A = this chain, B = another copy of it.
C-alpha cells in the first residue's frame, strides 16, 4: 500500500481541513477519516464520508422532530430491540462511503452485494497500476478435504515456494506484456514509435485476477451489516474477510451501540430450525435425543452439536 507522494499529500490536505456543521458528527470516526487502513499486501480501506450516528437510528424509528434521543439507556434499548426483531429500516438511515483498493477476484465477490453505490477505476479509460496480490506464506493453503469451498492445510517447503514462484512470475510477465502491448509513454522505458499500441480496454484482459483495482463504495448501515455478517464469517474466503474485519472496526467507531447489538444478535447469534429447537427443548426437559430421533440430516445434526458445544454433543452421545 505505498501511496505516491502526491496521494499522501492529497490525503493530508483533506485531513487538515475542518468545517463547521449542524449535522450529527462522530469524533471517533473523524479521527481516522480519509486515512488508509492497510489490508492484505497492497490494499486498503478508507472512510471517505458518513451520514448519521446511533441517534439517527433512534430518530428515524421515532420519526421525531429533533435528535429524538432520550436517556442513553432508552436509546440503547430501542436499538437493541430493533436489531433483535429485525426491524431493519431505521438502520438504513445511516450511510457510509469507503475508498477501497482490492484484488479483482475479491472485487468480484464484493460486487454481488447489490444494494450499494459503486464507482470503480476504469481500465478502459486509464492504465492500471502495476500491483497484484501475492498471498502471505501462512495463507498458501491446500483445498479443504471437508469443505468443497474452503482451505485446508498450509502448503510448505518446495510446494509453497513453487506456487509463489508461479503466481509472481506469471503476474510480472502479464504486467510486462500489458505495458508492451499498450506501448504508451511513461509506462515503459522504451516506447516504440513504430507501433500503434493496443487499446487499453483490450490490453487489460491479459492481466490476472490478482491485479488490484480500486473503487468508491457507499452503502447504508443495514446493508453494511449484512455485508459484514456474510463476509466476516469464517466460511468467507480469507482475502475478503480481511477487508470485512478492517471495516467492522470502522463500524465500532461510528455507531458503538448498533455495533454491540450487531455483535450480540448477529455475529454471535445463531438460527435454530424447527427441528433443532425441538431437540433443545426436549433436552432441556431432560430427555435424551439421538440423531435419528431428531428428524435432522447427519450434517445438520453435527452442525447443531458443534453449536451447542462439543462437550454437550459428546455427552449426548454417551447418553444414547
Contacts and interface: CB of A to CB of B under 8 A. Distances in A.
Interface of A: 3, 6-7, 9-11, 13-15, 17-25, 30, 33-34, 48-52, 56, 59-61, 63-67, 77, 80-81, 84, 89-90, 92-93, 95, 97, 99, 103-105, 107-108, 111-112, 114-115, 117-122, 124-125, 133, 135, 139-144, 148-153, 155, 159, 163, 166-167, 170-171, 173-174, 177, 180-182, 184, 195-202, 204-211, 214-216, 218, 220, 237, 263-265, 267-277, 280-281, 283-285, 297, 299-300, 307-309, 311-312, 315
A220 B267 CA distance: 27
A273 B275 CA distance: 18
Nearest to A106: B205
Contact of A308 (B163, B182, B281): B281
Given A177-B166, A205-B167, A208-B206, A33 B25 contact: no
Q: Is the interface of A mostly helix, strand, loop or mixed?
A: mixed
A173 B162 CA distance: 15
Given A159-B196, A196-B142, A19 B21 contact: yes
A201 B237 contact: yes
Contacts of A9: 66
Contact of A284 (B6, B92, B284): B284
Given A196-B155, A200-B143, A284-B312, A49 B49 contact: no
Given A21-B25, A149-B124, A274-B269, A206 B210 contact: yes
B268 A271 contact: no
Nearest to A7: B65
Contact of A19 (B20, B65, B77, B218): B20
A13 to B, nearest CB: 6
A119 B210 contact: no
Contacts of A21: 18-21, 23, 25, 30
B271 A270 contact: yes
B89 A118 contact: yes
